Chain A
């Protein structure tokens, strides 16, 4: 079986047993990656179980191109029923762990059960064993990482949870190495509920390629194409890349009560941090885009920061000290928390402090700091307090929706979430396509339906849209950020192309989702040469639709309701920044756009 490793590794932590099954039985219908994740979860009956129960399988799935020479072939899709939303939970991760899992001989990892005591799952090719993690339980991510490297060798790769996952923080993530995290939807908490501190893998196998020469030629061509593209060039200076978007009002701050703009120092401050502390660029396995900046802050040591300057922590929390954003990002990673959700939670706290419902001094004492601690110290301390469920951290660890339930009715209007998942910092009022993406995407997230045409504008975005939709009547409106017209087509295409990437095990950042040139036909060409069976771009889009439909069916089984304007009420009102004002989203138009999107998907 070319390209695939050929086996699924099943692990039951309750009885500490492992066994394998062939991947081939799923390939025809699901191909791999995210598609197979959904199939395996549905087969296991995950949609009716407690997310923290032994029956909720934690699945890690690579795709057929993961670990091959294909560009950006580093991805793994982590999935389980989410403790944050109660729906299909998923997060995608790159780095070096996913290819290593395939070289060890496994396409997917299905983990069920709950261990008696904290364990590490160690996979060395065919040898699968369990080791005690009692000594590591409670340690932060990098301390655990270093201990695992010392124990299992420099060439081993690991997926680790921090105190956040151990203590079932509903937005805890899983961390791999110095750079990568699978953080959204609480996958780290699912791993923590299984008392699984880490998965260590070392693989020495090989992935067969049906037509090595043509595969290599296609990979080289694709890399040359990527090296000419704007995303490749922009990666050297992400703050500069984000500046036009910031000018548009892309970044909200203060828990969606304000907008960042030119001159407020946050983007400029991030650029300065990059200029002063960046020591180099690094890439995930096989990736020509090298989106990671290695930042060496004196307080943290070298740490990898992916893609953007993590300003959302600043933005959401309304703290304009740029180093705070970086320090809090590192604190989130060390504690094993999702930095997006944590930024949102901090914004929720900031707003409550400003409203007089919470007091920073009381919070400081509550989490064991001095009353005189600075604001930044309290917020940084709060990140650890959330992960360790200390004081008010215990309430905040439940996420903003549940925290508002506990704290009182006045907190509800401050809870910026969809279906229980905290919204990310991009401002939906600045782009209607983004509003639809937040409302209609599977996990209340904007990444799968990124409104790239609107962001790139009529000239560049328009050319790309004409190429994709082959209809000038569509290409015009989809670059207009103030209308919902035809945005359901963008959502449909972008979700599908993202899903194709997630199924194949390559990074969606090389696709149009990021304004990059690799489309479904090029991906199909690579798959054809790798597998030795003909695939077309439309075949791949069909797999993507099947996968998205399966996710939707799962969400309905989990209790998701009929479409409606489901964003926080605040977003239907206007917002003012120092440089501009944005009108609120029209809920009726949003609902109509969601309905049009559902119609294309043929959902009832």
Chain B
């Protein structure tokens, strides 16, 4: 199982990830259809990559009342468009404010380019390595690491 890791300091705001994502998923270049996007504040000098955090239990999928979002076993979320009723529950459920709707009202969920032999298109195109794909840590390892750092001790 992989997950995407963002090192925001390395991002140059070039938005190639947005275009690569839309090309991989839609066969066209359109940042509005990217499952990853760069948020620009007022100035071009101030940008942050917005990316799906791949929650262990994706809140978007849990919130979907009709089962249109399916958490994939290898990571990422898949949209089953024929089930989607465009209610927007998934958008409000995303705790990171990442999820957006496409123009036809369906959520632009990240499936980690499931099925693409070269892996996620955004990772492939980012030569600054601001986005990389890493092995997702298992639950135990993760808990241990957090404890070691002393950030959270439950």
Contact = CB atoms under 8 A, between A and B. Distances in A.
Given A216-B121, A220-B125, A177 B44 contact: yes
B37 to A, nearest CB: 10
Contacts of A215: 23
8 contacts: A69-B20, A95-B44, A177-B43, A209-B29, A215-B23, A282-B47, A288-B14, A302-B43
A207 B30 contact: yes
B13 interface: yes
A154 B40 contact: yes
Nearest to B103: A204
B13 A282 contact: yes
Contact of B32 (A103, A220, A281, A285): A103
Contact of B28 (A146, A208, A286): A208
A126 B41 CA distance: 25
Contacts of A559: none
A96 B19 CA distance: 13
B127 A209 contact: no
Contact of B124 (A150, A155, A220, A290): A220
A294 B45 contact: yes
Contact of B43 (A178, A212, A223, A287): A178
Interface of B: 9, 12-16, 19-20, 22-24, 26-33, 39-47, 103, 121, 124-125, 127-128
A146 B41 CA distance: 11
Interface in A277-322: 279-288, 290, 294, 302-304
A146 B15 CA distance: 21
B138 to A, nearest CB: 31
Contacts of A186: none
Interface string A149-181: 110001100000000000000000000011100
Given A103-B31, A226-B127, 7 more contacts: A178-B45, A206-B33, A283-B12, A286-B16, A287-B12, A303-B45, A304-B44
Contacts of A282: 12-13, 44-45, 47
Contacts of B12: 281-283, 287, 290
A219 interface: yes
A103 B40 contact: no
Contacts of B124: 216, 220
B30 to A, nearest CB: 4
Contacts of B27: 208-209, 212
Contacts of B19: 67-69, 286
Given A69-B29, A103-B30, A223-B125, A283 B43 contact: no
A304 B127 contact: no
The 7 A-B residue pairs with the shortest CB-CB distance in the complex, in nearest-first order: A206-B30, A283-B14, A283-B12, A206-B28, A290-B12, A178-B44, A177-B44
Given A154-B42, A205-B30, A286 B15 contact: yes
Contact of B42 (A149, A209, A304): A149
B127 A288 contact: yes
Contact of B125 (A68, A219, A302, A304): A219
A68 B20 CA distance: 9
Given A154-B40, A227-B127, A283-B13, A216 B45 contact: no
Contact of B14 (A145, A154, A206, A287): A287
Interface in A36-55: none
A281 B45 CA distance: 9
A223 B33 CA distance: 22
A362 interface: no
Contacts of B32: 103, 204-206
Contact of B22 (A149, A206, A279): A206
Nearest to A206: B30
A555 B24 CA distance: 45
A286 B33 contact: no
A224 interface: yes
Contacts of B121: 216
A242 to B, nearest CB: 21
Contacts of A284: 14
Given A282-B13, A283-B13, A216 B42 contact: no
Contacts of B42: 146, 149-150, 154
B6 to A, nearest CB: 15
Nearest to B15: A285
Contacts of A150: 42
